[in-house]
């Protein structure tokens, strides 16, 4: 770990300008009188898992949703927190860095200082390892100065970032106690927020006074559920990647001789690939969720792409751009099965050079069929979340190789009459992760930071900061908090040996919804994208003028705002109660009974476990 954390960085002119940008706060968070409304207890969206979740989270499951409202909001039960004793808060970056992370800390710091100048914010140096080792840096205006609206996690750094083993949990608790922390804010994705929930439960159980808060920050965009619409960093990553994809599309159209295969960082789910497709209109995208749903084999995928290449050649087009999500390889059933066998053997301690001889005949046949470079990558040890080392497996090269082989065969056989097939492969990820965050991510992260303070001021534990209605301008955003345990699901059908997570409730990466509006938009345009080269170039990330305020397409087409709707429903219920008070007419009462009976009947049917779809 080096001593460079938190030191002022030299900023370029553009960075300086950005460091002076002040994100807008929604009206409810302005000033120091924020009203908190705690209403109905939450329930897990996973009806099968509820029992298990309850068992794992006896202290923190079923807590109410929290809404943060402006002081003047007319909500009878909401309270204004007027006492703001000085508190001490720790904050830690966990997992892959994501643009905008610094702004969560900035927002939290501003909220702390505006409510009590004596509040203290400590940043843990070097991620979870810094937490365990109690290495801290006090966050001040001076420290923040050159990190406001800047990318990366370099103000504090991060490490491997897992808070899961008993040792790790105890070390975290020791740190919180020794440092007398009233709150611990964990900035990260699905894994880190799962850890945050378990830590919160542990703290509640052992009466450790530190409250734990999670913040949804992950470029993958896969921490999505009824309460969480978007993740900090996703917008920037998709904009930077879409710029590069568009540049490659222009290149393809100019040279007319290459097929570009571009793999996009984003872990198992295909959110980044889908969003980038909707932004830049490449010829084709293979979503992992489609492959899994249709159980496509690697040969099916190859044939599909070859057919596309052939169709384009018939229109005299010998170039193209094809996107692949990082996690595609694990969505292909037979490759996934092979990976599970390999990982099982690795866990048994079989050394990687001996594995191929111990595979089942079926897996062995597939393994031998694959090109040499990919075999080596498949033999890498799995990551801490049991997935393969997706960033290291060059799926784009594998697919390009298979397509080339098949196209050469078709050329020889005379079924394909186009030009010789040429592929160029790319992996876009690392070069986007450190980008200056987009305006959206700057704003969103800063607001989430403020919300973290209000969660702690309300003494809530095991919550995640949430903002909904994000597709609208910041002055219409709804700010709240939801218990992390309410977002969890329980996996029942584990594959392969040694999967420690079987049966343990966790946040699982949300996959692309194949029935959702974003996917529908893609389906409607797929043929046009494939054949007509309607490439769209959003251009480089701008901070002013056209495009600067553009939001993710998937965020805008999906009609979310779950938290807003929950509030709206509560208003209806309150109204019914107000109208049908004892003393109202018999007719009104009868009408109310009849209508409510019908409503409850419908809802019981819809929400019975037998009709609910499995959440994964």
Q: How far is the CB of 236 from a second copy (least distance, A)?
A: 10
Position 417 contacts a second copy (CB under 8 A): no
| Nearer of residues 153 and 421 to a second copy, judged by Cβ | 153
CA pair distance 334, 340, nearest whole angstrom: 10
Closest approach of a second copy to the CB of residue 306, in Å: 20
Choice between 301 and 399, CB closer to a second copy:
399
CB atoms within 10 A of CB 395: 27
Strand partners, 137: 123
At 85, list the tokens.
Answer: 């004793």
Interface of this chain with a second copy, residues 418 to 437, rule: CB under 8 A? 424, 426, 428, 430-436
Q: How far is the CB of 349 from a second copy (least distance, A)?
A: 20
- How does DSSP assign 230-274, residue by residue? --BTHHHHHHHHHHHHHHHHHHHHHH---EEEEEE---SS-HHHH
Task: Rank residues 131 and 479 by Cβ distance to a second copy and give the closer one.
Answer: 131
* Residue 130 C-beta: closest distance to a second copy, Å: 11
Compute the chain's Rg from CA coordinates.
Answer: 26
Determine the distance from the C-alpha atom of residue 254 to the mean position of all C-alpha atoms in its chain, rounded to a whole number.
35
Are 215 and 184 contacting, i.e. CB atoms less than 8 angstroms apart? no
Measured from the CB of residue 443, what is the shortest distance to a second copy in angstroms? Answer: 18
Least separation in angstroms between residue 132's CB and a second copy is: 16
Q: Which of residues 353-412 bind a second copy (CB under 8 A)?
A: 372-373
Choices 77-85, 149-157, 353-361, 554-562; region in contact with a second copy by CB under 8 A: 149-157
The pair of three-digit structure tokens given for residue 560, joined into one six-digit string: 């979310």
In the complex, what is the shortest distance from the CB of residue 440 to a second copy, in angstroms, rounded to a whole number? 15
Considering beta carbons, is residue 424 or 580 the nearer one to a second copy?
424
Torsion 341-344-345-351 (CA) sign = positive
Nearest-approach distance from CB 509 to a second copy, in angstroms: 20
Closer to a second copy by CB, 133 or 337: give it: 133
CA torsion, ordered 207, 90, 470, 535, to nearest 10 deg = -130
Residue range at the interface with a second copy (CB under 8 A); choices 40-48, 310-318, 488-496, 564-572: 310-318
Nearer to a second copy, 153 or 446 (CB): 153
Q: Which is nearer to a second copy, 183 or 233 (CB)?
A: 233
Cβ 386 to a second copy, closest distance in Å? 21
With tokens 């509030």, the residue in question is: 567
Closest CB to a second copy among residues 435, 468: 435
Cβ-proximal residues to 182 (8 Å cutoff; 6+ apart), any chain = 87, 88, 89, 209, 210, 211, 456
153 to 192: interface string for a second copy, x by CB under 8 A: xx--xxx---------------------------------
In what helix (H) or strand (E) does residue 17 lie, and over which residues does it extend? helix 13-19
What phi and psi, each to the nearest 5 degrees, are found at residue 143? Answer: -65, -40
Query: In terms of CB distance, is 141 or 544 closer to a second copy?
Result: 544
Q: Is 254 in the site for a second copy (CB under 8 A)?
A: yes
Span interacting with a second copy, options 9-17, 132-140, 406-414, 446-454, rule CB under 8 A? 9-17
The owner of tokens 């880190």 is 192
DSSP annotation of 489: B
Binding of a second copy by 579 (CB under 8 A): no
Q: What are phi and psi of 102, to 5 degrees?
A: -60, -35
- Give the residue, chosen from 260, 261, 519, 562, that forms a contact with a second copy under the rule CB under 8 A: 260
State the residue for tokens 């006492």. Answer: 83
Using CB atoms within 10 Å of the CB of residue 436, give its burial: 0 to 12 exposed, 13 to 18 middle, 19+ buried. Answer: buried
Check binding of 511 to a second copy (CB under 8 A). no
Residue (183 or 437) nearer to a second copy, CB: 437
CB-facing half-sphere around the CA of 387: CA atoms within 13 A: 19
Minimum distance of a second copy from residue 531's CB (angstroms) = 11
Q: The tokens of 172 are what?
A: 């975290």
- The strand pairing partners of 216, in sequence order, are 188
- 500 contacts: CB under 8 Å, gap ≥ 6: 386
Closest by Cα among 516, 514, 513, 491 to 502: 491
Site for a second copy (CB under 8 A): which residue of 126, 221, 382, 449?
126
CB of 9 to a second copy, least distance (A): 8
Q: Which residue is it, tokens 């920037």? A: 236
Residues 44 to 103: which contact a second copy by CB under 8 A? Answer: 93, 97
- Per the listing, tokens 């080596």 go with 376
Binding-site size, a second copy (CB under 8 A): 73
Q: How far apart are CA 553 and CA 275, in angstroms?
A: 6
191-250 binders of a second copy (CB under 8 A): 240, 243-250
What is the maximal distance between C-alpha atoms in the chain?
88
Per CB under 8 A, does 148 bind a second copy? no
Binding-site member from 71, 550, 589, 592 for a second copy (CB under 8 A): 550
CA distance 613 to 616: 8
For residue 78, report the phi and psi dihedrals to the nearest 5 degrees: -75, 145
Residues 515-544 that bind a second copy (CB under 8 A): 533-544
* 414 belongs to the binding site for a second copy (CB under 8 A): no
Q: Which is nearer to a second copy, 258 or 336 (CB)?
A: 258
Q: How far is the CB of 367 from a second copy (least distance, A)?
A: 18
The answer to whether 95 and 54 have CB atoms below 8 angstroms apart is no
Looking at the Cβ atoms of 183 and 320, the one nearer to a second copy is 320
Asked if 485 is part of the footprint of a second copy (rule: CB under 8 A), the reply reads no
């Amino acid at each position: 770990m080096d001593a460079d954390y938190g030191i002022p960085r030299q900023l370029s002119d553009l960075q300086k300008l950005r460091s002076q940008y002040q994100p807008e706060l929604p009206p409810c968070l302005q000033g120091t009188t924020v009203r908190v409304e705690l209403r109905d207890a939450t329930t897990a969206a996973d009806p099968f898992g509820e029992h298990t979740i309850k068992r794992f989270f006896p202290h923190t499951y079923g807590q109410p949703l929290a809404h943060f409202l402006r002081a003047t909001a007319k909500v009878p039960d909401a309270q204004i927190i007027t006492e703001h004793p000085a508190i001490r808060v720790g904050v830690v970056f966990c997992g892959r860095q994501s643009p905008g992370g610094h702004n969560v800390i900035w927002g939290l710091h501003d909220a702390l200082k505006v409510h009590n100048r004596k509040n203290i914010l400590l940043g843990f140096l070097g991620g979870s390892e810094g937490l365990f080792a109690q290495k801290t840096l006090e966050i001040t205006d001076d420290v923040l100065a050159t990190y406001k609206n800047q990318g990366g996690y370099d103000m504090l750094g991060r490490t491997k970032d897992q808070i899961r083993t008993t040792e790790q949990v105890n070390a975290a608790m020791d740190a919180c106690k020794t440092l007398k922390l009233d709150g611990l804010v964990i900035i990260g994705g699905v894994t880190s927020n799962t850890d945050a929930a378990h830590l919160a439960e542990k703290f509640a159980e052992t009466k450790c006074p530190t409250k734990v808060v999670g913040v949804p920050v992950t470029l993958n965009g896969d921490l999505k559920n009824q309460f969480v619409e978007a993740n900090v960093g996703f917008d920037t990553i998709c904009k930077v990647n879409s710029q590069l994809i568009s540049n490659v599309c222009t290149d393809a159209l100019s040279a007319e001789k290459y097929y570009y295969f571009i793999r996009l960082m984003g872990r198992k789910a295909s959110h980044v690939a889908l969003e980038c497709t909707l932004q830049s209109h490449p010829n084709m995208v293979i979503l992992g969720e489609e492959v899994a749903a249709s159980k496509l084999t690697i040969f099916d995928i190859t044939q599909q792409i070859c057919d596309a290449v052939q169709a384009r050649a018939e229109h005299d087009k010998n170039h193209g751009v094809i996107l692949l999500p990082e996690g595609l390889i694990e969505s292909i059933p037979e490759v996934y099965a092979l990976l599970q066998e390999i990982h099982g053997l690795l866990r048994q301690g079989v050394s990687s050079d001996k594995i191929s001889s111990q595979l089942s005949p079926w897996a062995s046949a597939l393994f031998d069929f694959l090109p040499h470079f990919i075999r080596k990558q498949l033999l890498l040890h799995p990551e801490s979340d049991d997935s393969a080392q997706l960033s290291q497996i060059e799926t784009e090269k594998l697919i390009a190789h298979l397509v080339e082989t098949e196209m050469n065969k078709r050329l020889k056989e005379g079924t394909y009459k186009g030009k010789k097939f040429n592929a160029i492969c790319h992996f876009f990820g690392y070069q986007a992760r450190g980008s200056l965050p987009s305006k959206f991510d700057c704003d969103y992260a800063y607001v989430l930071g403020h919300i973290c303070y209000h969660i702690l001021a309300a003494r809530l534990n095991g919550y995640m900061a949430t903002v909904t209605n994000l597709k609208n301008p910041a002055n219409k955003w709804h700010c709240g908090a939801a218990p992390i345990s309410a977002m969890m699901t329980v996996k029942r059908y584990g594959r392969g040996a040694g999967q420690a997570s079987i049966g343990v409730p966790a946040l699982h990466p949300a996959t692309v919804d194949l029935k959702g509006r974003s996917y529908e938009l893609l389906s409607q345009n797929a043929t046009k994208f494939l054949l007509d080269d309607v490439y769209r170039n959003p251009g480089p990330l701008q901070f002013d003028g056209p495009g600067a305020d553009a939001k993710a397409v998937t965020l805008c087409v999906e009609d979310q705002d779950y938290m807003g709707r929950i509030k709206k429903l509560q208003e209806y219920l309150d109204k019914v109660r107000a109208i049908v008070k004892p003393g109202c007419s018999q007719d009104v009462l009868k009408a109310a009974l009849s209508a409510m009976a019908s409503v409850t009947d419908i809802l019981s049917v819809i929400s019975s476990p037998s009709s609910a779809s499995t959440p994964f």
